């Protein structure tokens, strides 16, 4: 079962994702994609570690190349977050690339092993602000990734002010 959770910044996506895995038996893996660049990123990483403490997650820090992760069968995975993963893949070299070619095979790899896969993403690009060409490229890539991921997900939930709104599938919480 794959569930995509989307929404704006600080709207409760992570809390909901963790809640969906609360009652899962077996191995729970948290795939962290935020690279520790700068004080703000380090603070966010530490905050997420504290929130997950004691919840039974094994953390895998993987910034690119999801398809390379060795996974146990029938595990429960929380992938946090698609927006960081997209930026990491898109801007990992001097050349800007289309990250969908790298990320979607990785998502399918996770689905192959996971009994439960929860993917957290962000709703970007709906603010109407004009950005640089690089940022516009990122917003477009995120739109493609979110669309493709929603298409292969059983459930899609938007978190709005902490309230889960089911867009596809059934209630899974």
Structure tokens at 128: 């109407």
DSSP state of 96: -
Q: Which whole number is the average pLDDT over 40-49?
A: 85
The rounded percent of the chain whose pLDDT value lies above 70 is: 96
Q: Which whole number is the average pLDDT over 161-166?
A: 93
CB 155 within 8 A of CB 3: yes
pTM of the predicted protein model: 0.91
Q: Which whole number is the average pLDDT over 151-165?
A: 95
pLDDT digits (tens, 9 = 90+) for 112-148: 999 999 999 999 877 777 888 888 889 999 999 999 9
Structure tokens at 107: 């998502």
pLDDT digits (tens, 9 = 90+) for 12-33: 899 999 999 988 889 999 999 9
Helix (H, G, I), strand (E, B) or coil at 157: strand
Mean pLDDT of the chain: 90
What domains can you pick out in the chain, each with its CATH number? 2-166 (3.40.50.300)
């Amino acid at each position: 079962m794959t569930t995509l959770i989307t929404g704006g910044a600080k709207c409760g996506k992570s809390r909901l994702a963790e809640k969906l895995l609360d009652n899962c038996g077996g191995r729970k893996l948290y795939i962290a994609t935020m690279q520790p660049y700068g004080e703000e990123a380090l603070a966010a990483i530490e905050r997420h570690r504290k929130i997950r403490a004691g919840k039974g997650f094994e953390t895998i820090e993987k910034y690119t190349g999801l398809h390379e992760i060795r996974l146990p069968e029938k595990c429960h995975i929380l992938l946090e977050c698609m927006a960081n993963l997209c930026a990491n893949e898109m801007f990992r070299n001097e050349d800007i690339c289309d990250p969908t070619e790298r990320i979607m095979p990785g998502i399918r790899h996770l689905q192959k092993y996971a009994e439960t896969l929860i993917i957290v993403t962000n709703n970007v690009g709906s603010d109407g602000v004009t950005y640089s060409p690089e940022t516009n490229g990122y917003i477009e890539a995120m739109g493609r990734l979110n669309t493709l991921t929603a298409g292969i997900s059983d459930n899609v939930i938007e978190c709005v002010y902490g309230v889960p709104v089911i867009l596809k599938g059934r209630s899974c919480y």
